[in-house]
């Protein structure tokens, strides 16, 4: 089999096709824990909507440039005004426009380690960045934590980008500790892509504050919650003036017709969506506890507590060889070198179902027996 080692760290997880080619494995036999998606099939309502959209001409016809049905469903689900909603071609597209606004205001503060796509978006506009170090130790508790006071004290950047729960650490910030940031920054961009997956997470959302705070942007993704990374579907909640400005910058048809049909069907079915969220959050709670306990029993590995559907693991030495060895056994874990402040001693693991999590632990045990960490 080919080596899993690449020339540099990938900026994202989920590089399934590339990994399969490098490893000479069939894609369907790989377990991809480098991406943080739910391990279930997408909701039946979504799959039915896709089939119906194809039969109804969604492949032939141009999609609705207003995205009216999807926007209406999002607004109703969150209880916000329709004018505050803008769907996007995944969250990544929306980060690009948020970064353009940020560039006009000055320096962007980026807590690190953090999601690399914010920096990518800022580079599109040559926007200055300030990297803000996050503590890499935090309590193992279910309650949300306060946003680090040490980080707040070290920055005067007019723009701050935050992720809640934080990626890659899985820390859940309390709404009470985030709300004061709106007075400190001219623009606060809050990525809540994983928040719907977190048990009790919605109580910490900033969405309800958008109407009264034009300097707040909240970005959501349906990729993780519904396991539809291939559809590229997300949305922003922000002031109408900001969203109107973004709409003049973007492509004419940023969200394809199949994605609009699928997203509208799922979000308009509020009972079904609530039931789906309960299922997902139950999985995060049970599998997170199980996987963390199993990882704590492995020599040389120190898993960090997480409220999200992923966690990071620190090794007492480089974990790159371990990551590649596990990959040769058909299990893909996230190389954390693209997260500034982590490096090659860290891995991120996306939760799977119990069978998949057992496979992860088994592969790690086998590799650790062959290659003890010292």
pLDDT, tens digit, for every residue of 165-202? 999 999 999 999 999 999 999 999 999 999 999 999 99
Q: Average pLDDT in the 219-240 region?
A: 95
Crossing angle of helices 257-268 and 44-55, in 10° steps, is 140
| pLDDT value of position 3 | 41
**0.85 exceeded by pTM:** yes
The CATH number fitting domain 16-42+273-370, selected from 3.10.20.340, 3.40.50.150, 3.20.10.10, 3.90.1150.10: 3.90.1150.10
Closest residue by Cα to residue 225 from 31, 354, 15, 37: 37
- The backbone torsions φ and ψ at residue 235, rounded to the nearest 5 degrees and listed phi first, read -160, 155
Q: Average pLDDT in the 74-91 region?
A: 97
DSSP state of 30: -
| pLDDT value of position 1 | 39
Q: Average pLDDT in the 325-346 region?
A: 93
How distant, in Å, are the alpha carbons of 94, 208, 217, 240 from that of 212? 21, 8, 12, 12
Closest residue by Cα to residue 184 from 213, 163, 158, 161: 158
| pLDDT value of position 27 | 82
Crossing angle of helices 68-78 and 257-268, in 10° steps, is 30
Q: Measured between alpha carbons, how far is 170 from 194 in angstroms, rounded to an integer?
A: 9
Closest residue by Cα to residue 300 from 290, 313, 291: 313
E strand or H helix that includes residue 311: strand 310-315
Task: Examine the pLDDT at 5 and tell me if it is beyond 80.
Answer: no
| pLDDT value of position 19 | 79
Instruction: Tell me what the pLDDT averaged over the chain comes to.
Output: 93
Residue-wise pLDDT for 260-316, tens only, equals 999 999 999 999 999 999 999 999 999 999 999 999 999 999 999 999 999 999 999
Ranking 150-154, 335-339, 357-361 by mean pLDDT, the lowest is 150-154
Helices (H), the chain: 16-23, 44-55, 68-78, 90-105, 116-123, 149-153, 175-178, 181-184, 223-226, 240-249, 257-268, 270-296, 320-328, 354-370
Query: According to CATH, where is 3.90.1150.10 located in the chain?
Result: 16-42+273-370
Residue-wise pLDDT for 48-59, tens only, equals 999 999 999 999
- The backbone torsions φ and ψ at residue 231, rounded to the nearest 5 degrees and listed phi first, read -85, -25
Query: According to CATH, where is 3.40.640.10 located in the chain?
Result: 44-268
Instruction: Please tell me the CATH code under which domain 44-268 is placed.
Output: 3.40.640.10
Task: Examine the pLDDT at 110 and tell me if it is beyond 60.
Answer: yes
- Binned at pLDDT 50, 70 and 90, residue 6 comes out as very low
Task: Examine the pLDDT at 335 and tell me if it is beyond 80.
Answer: yes
| pLDDT value of position 151 | 84
Crossing angle of helices 270-296 and 68-78, in 10° steps, is 70
| pLDDT value of position 2 | 40
| pLDDT value of position 362 | 97
End-to-end CA gap in the chain: 27
């Amino acid at each position: 089999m080919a080596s899993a080692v690449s020339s540099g760290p990938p900026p994202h997880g989920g590089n399934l096709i590339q990994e399969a080619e490098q490893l000479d494995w069939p894609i369907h036999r790989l377990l991809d824990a480098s991406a943080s998606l739910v391990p279930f099939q997408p909701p039946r309502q979504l799959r039915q909507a896709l089939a119906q959209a194809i039969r109804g001409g969604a492949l032939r016809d141009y999609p609705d440039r207003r995205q009216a049905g999807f926007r209406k469903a999002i607004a109703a689900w969150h209880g916000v005004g329709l004018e505050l909603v803008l769907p996007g071609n995944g969250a990544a597209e929306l980060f690009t426009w948020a970064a353009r606004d940020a560039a006009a205001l000055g320096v962007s503060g980026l807590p690190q380690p953090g999601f690399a796509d914010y920096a990518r978006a800022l580079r599109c506009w040559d926007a200055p960045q300030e990297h803000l170090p996050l503590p890499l130790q935090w309590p193992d508790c279910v309650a949300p934590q306060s946003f680090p006071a040490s980080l707040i004290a070290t920055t005067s950047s007019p723009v701050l980008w935050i992720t809640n729960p934080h990626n890659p650490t899985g820390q859940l910030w309390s709404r009470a500790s985030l709300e004061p940031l709106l007075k400190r920054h001219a623009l606060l961009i809050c990525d809540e892509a994983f928040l719907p997956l977190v048990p009790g997470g919605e109580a910490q959302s900033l969405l309800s504050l958008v109407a009264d705070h034009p300097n707040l942007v909240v970005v959501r993704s349906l990729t993780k919650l519904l396991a539809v990374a291939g559809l590229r579907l997300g949305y922003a909640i922000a002031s109408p003036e900001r969203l109107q400005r973004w709409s003049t910058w973007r492509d004419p048809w940023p969200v394809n017709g199949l994605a609009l049909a699928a997203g509208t069907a799922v979000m308009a079915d509020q009972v079904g969506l609530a039931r789906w969220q309960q299922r997902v959050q139950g999985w995060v709670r049970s599998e997170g506890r199980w996987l963390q306990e199993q990882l704590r029993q492995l020599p040389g590995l120190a898993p960090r507590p997480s409220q999200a559907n992923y966690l990071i693991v620190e090794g007492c030495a480089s974990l790159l060889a371990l990551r590649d060895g596990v990959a040769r056994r058909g299990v893909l874990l996230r190389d954390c070198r693209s997260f500034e402040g982590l490096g090659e001693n860290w891995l991120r693991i996306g939760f799977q179902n119990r069978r998949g999590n057992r496979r992860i632990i088994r592969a790690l045990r086998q590799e650790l027996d062959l290659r003890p960490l010292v």
